[in-house]
Chains A and B, each alone.
Chain A
Amino acid sequence: MDLVLVLVIQVLFAMASLALISVGLAVIFGMMRVINLAHGEFLMLGGYSAIFATQHGINLWISMLVVAPVVVGAIGVLVERTLIRFLYGRMIDTMLATWGLSLFLIGLITGIFGNTTVGISAPLGGMAIGNYRTSIYSLVVIAITVVLLVAMYLVLRYTRLGLFARGTMQNPDMAAALGLSPPRVYAVTFGIGAALSGLAGALIAPISGVFPTIGIAYIAKAFITVIGGGAAILSGTVTASALFGAIQEVGTYFTTPVFGVVITLAAAIVLIRLLPQGITGRFLKRWL
């Protein structure tokens, strides 16, 4: 029984962290059809922002939940204004530009912080479940992810800002004819996507540590989640992370962590073969 509970927590944690690292990418891709190859580096910058802030005496939770998203969100707006906005509708150019940005950011951070792993120890310690132990922090990450996704749903569904975002996503010219400035909507959206990535990078920093090339470890997982999820930003992210998170954890349990990832990637290939438009391209079409 205790083992089952521990396993359930592990599976939920895998789902939550997958959703966390993907949701910023999903927002940017879903809203603007921009494939952001620097997504992994936004996660990395979130981790460094949080660690840098804690090292300078700021409370760990504030560093993770406030400093990281604000810093990376601001970087996102800067990147959108100086780079991305010239490339809308040109997918290959955007991919090349964001790839270049990713290399630049890795080089920049290596120059500043060195090519070493820095870490913060996970707060809150552990908790006994029968004969097993689980970290309280992973429960907190699960809870934060749920709160975040629910909040995003409420904003998109019930606020004017969310409505404008959805409308602009469906038909930017018509939105402009009604008086909204699509470039402004895009800048805000890109900033929000980057902020979400910064938050995710900060929340996983205590678990994995941070180093300049850590983005590479996450970007493939984030992309299969977004592509597997399909057009609907939230329900796509939730269903794909639930599916792939479960497959990965179960695979890991019966084999090894490396094989767990291999099995997940294989499952993603099968899924995209069966549903080229992703899960929400076929199901839950009307969802957010």
Chain B
Amino acid sequence: MMLKVRDLHAAYGRIPVLYGVTFSVAEGQFVGVLGHNGMGKTSLLRALMGFLPVAGGTVVLDQADITDWPAYRRSRAGIGYVPQGRDIFPNLSVLDNLRMGCAKVDGNDAPVIDSVLEDFPRLKRLLDRLGGALSGGEQQLLAIARCLCGKPDLLLLDEPTEGIQPSIIDEIIELLERLKQSRRLTVVLVEQNLDFIAALSDRILLIQKGRITREVSPGSLKDPDLVGEFVGVER
């Protein structure tokens, strides 16, 4: 699925947060957006998902101009969203969280959940637990699994490594690698974890103060001097 964002402006009330974001993602590409805290990564994904009103510019998904669509319609058009903080339904069981993920699937949701769980052995043992009782890492896996239940073509991932122990981060890298191949997903990942974004992305965009400032190759993130110059993120 192809995404084209042109000159996107958005604001929280009167305070602007995106100042003309332009980029595109080709079908099947894994694009990382790297930036500090507060640079507008979450706001960008919220605008793409329809939660942050757009003040200017356009968002085009395949051929459709979705700039003014409500979130549920974007979701039904094939966008999957894994938000920062994960937004697991705390008082629903893990299984019911997954069933919520099947909301746009007609008919029986059990086979869909079974097939998704193939990739999430950890979750299989937790199906009866309440979503709110899981650890941060388990919630992150659940958020990704729940999203996949809706069979998205384009995945928007917001800082999946935030507050998660390193062992699960490696597991998530492997998982996303596998999903990228097996489900032919197009992905936009926003992150500030350099290793994570470098390990997964085909292309990396830098976001600074609500603008995409430049594009770098994943390989160049191995050079600490360049990294310091680009974003000032300490390794």
**A contacts, CB < 8 Å to B:** 160, 163-164, 166-167, 170-171, 173-182, 286
Residue pair B103, A174 in contact (C-beta under 8 Å): no
**Are B130 and A160 interface neighbours, CB within 8 A?**
no
Contact with A along B68-112 (1 / 0, CB 8 A): 001110011000010100010111100010011101100001000
- The 8 listed contacts between A and B (C-beta, < 8 Å) are A160-B109, A163-B99, A167-B89, A167-B96, A175-B100, A177-B75, A179-B150, A181-B72
Is the beta-carbon distance between A176 and B75 smaller than 8 angstroms? yes
Q: Is residue B23 contacting chain A, with contact meaning CB distance below 8 A?
A: no
B92 touching A170 by the CB < 8 A rule? yes
Q: If the complex has contacts A177-B71, A177-B81, are A170 and B91 also in contact, measured as CB distance less than 8 A?
A: yes
Contact B91 A175 (CB under 8 A): no
CA distance A179 to B78 in the complex (A): 9
The reply to whether B75 and A179 form a contact with Cβ atoms under 8 Å apart is yes
**A90 to B104 Cα, complex, angstroms:** 29
| CB within 8 Å for A164 and B91 given contacts A176-B71, A177-B49, A177-B83 | no
Q: Nearest-CB distance from A231 to chain B (Å)?
A: 10
Closest residue of chain A to B146 (Cβ to Cβ) is A178
Q: Are A286 and B91 in contact (CB under 8 A)?
A: yes
Q: Per-position contact with A for B31-69: 1 when CB-CB < 8 Å, else 0?
A: 000000000000000000111000000000000000000
Of A163, A167, A170, A179, the contact of B72 (CB 8 Å cutoff): A179
A167 to B51, CA, bound (A): 18
Minimum Cβ distance to chain A for residue B100 (Å) = 4
Interface pair B89/A170, CB less than 8 Å apart: yes
Q: How far is the CA of A284 from the CA of B91 in the complex (A)?
A: 12
Query: Are the C-beta atoms of B90 and A170 separated by less than 8 Å?
Result: yes
Could you tell me the distance between the alpha carbons of A181 and B50 in the complex, rounded to whole angstroms?
13
Residues of B within 8 A of A175 (CB): 100, 103
Please encode chain B, from 134 to 156, with 1 for each CB lying within 8 Å of some chain A CB and 0 for all others. Answer: 00000000000011001000000
Say whether A178 contacts B103, CB under 8 Å: yes
In the complex, the answer to whether A173 meets B150 with C-beta atoms within 8 Å is no
User: Which one of B51, B76, B83, B130 contacts A179 once the chains associate, using CB atoms below 8 Å?
Assistant: B76
A197 vs B15: C-alpha distance in the bound complex, in angstroms?
44
- For the complex, give the distance between the alpha carbons of A171 and B89 in Å: 7
Q: B100-134: which have CB < 8 Å to A?
A: 100-101, 103-104, 109, 130
Asked whether A171 lies within 8 Å of B103 as measured between CB atoms, the reply is no
Decide: A164 and B87 in contact? CB cutoff 8 A: no
Separation of A174 and B81 alpha carbons in the complex (Å): 9
Q: Is the CB–CB distance between A178 and B100 below 8 Å?
A: yes
CA distance A277 to B147 in the complex (A): 33
Task: For B131, give the chain A residue with the smallest CB separation.
Answer: A170
Chain A minimum-CB-distance residue to B97: A167
Q: Which residue of B lies closest to A174 (CB)?
A: B87
Bound-state CA distance A204–B101 (Å) is 41
Q: Is the CB of A178 within 8 A of B104?
A: yes
Instruction: Point out which of B89, B90, B130 has the most chain A C-beta atoms below 10 A from its C-beta.
Output: B89
Given A182-B72, A286-B130, does the pair A174, B99 have CB atoms closer than 8 Å?
no
The CA-CA distance from A174 to B90 in the complex, in Å, is 12
Given A163-B100, A164-B103, A286-B130, verify A178-B150 contact (CB < 8 Å).
yes
Residues of B close to A177: CB separation below 8 A:
49, 51, 71-72, 75, 81, 83, 87
Tell me, in angstroms, the Cα distance from A166 to B100 when the chains sit together: 10
- List, in ascending order, chain A residues with CB within 8 A of B150's CB: 178-179
> Is the beta-carbon distance between A180 and B103 smaller than 8 angstroms?
yes
CA–CA, A182 to B87, complex, Å? 16
* 9 tightest A-B CB contacts, nearest first: A179-B104, A176-B71, A179-B75, A177-B81, A174-B87, A181-B72, A167-B100, A176-B72, A170-B89
